[in-house]
Amino acid sequence: MPSISKNRRRQGIPVRLLPITASTRCQSHERPKLRKLSENAFAELEDILVDLYKTHQMRLVREFGICFYGVEDCKNHCKNAHNKRMPTDHMLPPEEFCFQNPPIGPPWYPAQYRDQETMLYSIDYYVDCRLDRKCRRKLADSTDLAGAPEFFQRIEAWDMLSDLCDGANILVNKRAYEKARVLLDRFFDGLELVLNFDDLSFISMFWRICLQLRGIEHRWQESEVLHRLSFAKLIGLILGQDPKGTHPLFVIASSMANVSKKDFKDALRICFFKTVDTLLAIIGDDNSTVLHLLCLYYDLFHWGDRTHMQKDNLIKKLDVIRDRAYDSENEDAIITAEYNLAYAAHNVCGYYSVAMRHAENIFKRTSHMSFTERWTPAARAFFFSAKLLGSNYHFLGDLDEATSYLKEGIHKLDMTGNEHRIRACKLSSTLEIYFKEQKRFDEARREEARQKCLLDEIIGHNICLRCSRLGPYTHKMCGRCYMQLGQPKKPRKKRYRALGISKSQAKEIRATLLSWNLAAPLGLAVE
């Protein structure tokens, strides 16, 4: 195939891909003959190519480039043309067009994404069966849609399971692997108690929990939490209630187990979007749980997109729900509504001033509360507000305000339950970083000692610093921990061999130098 750059120089074409006309397409034994087209024809072909690129129909873009331009990869040309012609027109996520405007033609491998298609169908089938005609009629006749307790009765319990995964993630970052294992055991025990087929909370939070466990497994490879969740625990629980294996949740879990490792995150993303899209179509966008799921989706998968059209009215919808919570005078509902609004403003829409205002409201309402051993949504909101206010004031340069919020959060959380101490350890590590930036090393060392004390108080086996440096290999221990478990003393290495002398010569030299106290520095300890 002749070089396109040579044809450009020969025909005087500017910086553009030169298309091949239908009349000059080559046979199998001929080379393609490129011919200069008119400007109008070239503009029409380029418009078609940009439209295909905008709608994520990459297979047609590739075929278009092969047939008309003589190249296989013209994505960069499409991207530059799209940005040049429509600089303010942002591309929507590809999953928007997977359901609304599917690409034309069969896929390259018909059976490659069969498990993903099965999961998408099972999600629709499961939600449609749970929301029957009676429930939809009741939903349509209801005037107060904020909450919908008949659909998400156990959403708080699933949030607590998700918080257990977050706590295990913090402990893995601190190299407290045995303590993280205790939290994961509690998570799988709670999964058996919370699972209910008649509640939509499972299908709503399952994808987020899978993504959290995937992150833990990525940093701690010996945990195998996703394998336990997908292959053993969840499938066993579902088969215990449905031995035939025809339930949609069993189909979803077994299909997720068959997804390849490289497609796992993409499968989570597309199934998460399908769940949120189906719930929005049936329940509507006046439900706080559905809106928070939408915020979680954009935070986890589209955190860099700040201009999507669905985000414009998101703050207004959450404001309406917050007003309803204030009218009901329910303290838990008010804190939850403020938390959802601050989360959406900070992590989704990028309205940092709005997020700080609502975070200050949460901090004022929860700072006077007395937390118990049990982890609650109010404690989660307090931790989120302290972390958000500390990071934003640090970004604005007001280090005194940042440290004051973090200190108050640590002081309130470090005297309560296990989950509270884990979050206090997270705030303390952030405060240590801020102190080191200000060169206040004495206070930074105090925070480091505080983190060690907090980790000692958390339930689980204590591992010394030398053992934690072994990384994910938790079966290896240093000599001191090996002896503390009742194991025999490890044989000492014969270090005299490094000097190139025999054992008898080392004994003679050691006996000579004992009076000078030089035997130990020379490595002649041969006892």
CB 179 within 8 A of CB 452: no
pLDDT tens track for 256-285 = 878 877 788 888 888 888 888 888 888 888
Confirm whether 502 is domain-assigned: yes
What does the pLDDT read at residue 59? Answer: 63
* 116 and 30 belong to one structural domain: no
Q: What pTM value is reported for the model?
A: 0.67
For the stretch 281-321, pLDDT in tens is 888 888 888 888 888 888 888 654 554 546 668 888 899 99
Q: What CA–CA distance (Å, rounded) separates 263 from 51?
A: 27
Dmax (CA) of the chain: 101
The answer to whether position 203 is within a domain reads yes
Write down which residue in 278, 307, 336 finishes a domain: 307
Residue 104 lies in a domain: no
Dihedral through CA 39, CA 44, CA 45, CA 49, nearest 10?
130
211 in any annotated domain: yes
Show Cβ contacts of residue 131 under 8 Å, excluding neighbours closer than 6 positions: 139, 151, 200, 282, 283
Residues 117 and 170 in one domain: yes
Claim to verify: residue 65 and residue 179 sit in the same structural domain = no
Instruction: Supply the pLDDT for residue 61.
Output: 66
Do 119 and 267 share a domain, yes or no? yes
Instruction: Please tell me whether residues 277 and 177 are part of one structural domain.
Output: yes
Which of 272, 307, 342 delimits the end of a domain? Answer: 307
Pair (150, 262) in one structural domain:
yes
For the segment 493-522, the average pLDDT, to the nearest whole number, is 60
Look at the chain and report how many structural domains it folds into: 3
pLDDT category at 156 given cuts 50, 70, 90 is confident
**How high is the pLDDT of residue 522?**
44
Q: Are residues 66 and 127 in the same domain?
A: no
Same structural domain, 195 and 240: yes
263, 284, 307 — which closes off a domain?
307
User: Is 317 part of a structural domain of the chain?
Assistant: no
pLDDT of 133 higher than 70: no
Q: Are residue 160 and residue 128 in the same domain, yes or no? A: yes
Please identify which residue in the block is written with the tokens 């007395």. Answer: 370
58/120 same-domain check? no
Say whether pLDDT at 472 is over 70: no
Flag whether 207 is in a domain. yes
User: 308: alpha, beta or left, given left = phi > 0 and alpha = psi -120 to 50?
Assistant: beta
Q: Are residue 168 and residue 82 in the same domain, yes or no?
A: no
Give the tens place of pLDDT for each residue, 452-468. 888 888 766 555 545 54
The verdict on residue 302 lying in a domain is yes
**Structure-token match 């959406």, residue found:** 344
Range of the domain at 526: 492-527
In the prediction, which pLDDT does 125 show?
82
Cα–Cα dist 217/237, whole Å: 22
CA Rg, the chain, in Å?
A: 31
C-alpha dist (Å) from residue 62 to 2, 43, 45, 75, 209 = 19, 18, 14, 8, 36
57 and 145 co-located in one domain? no
- Whether 142 is covered by a domain: the verdict is yes
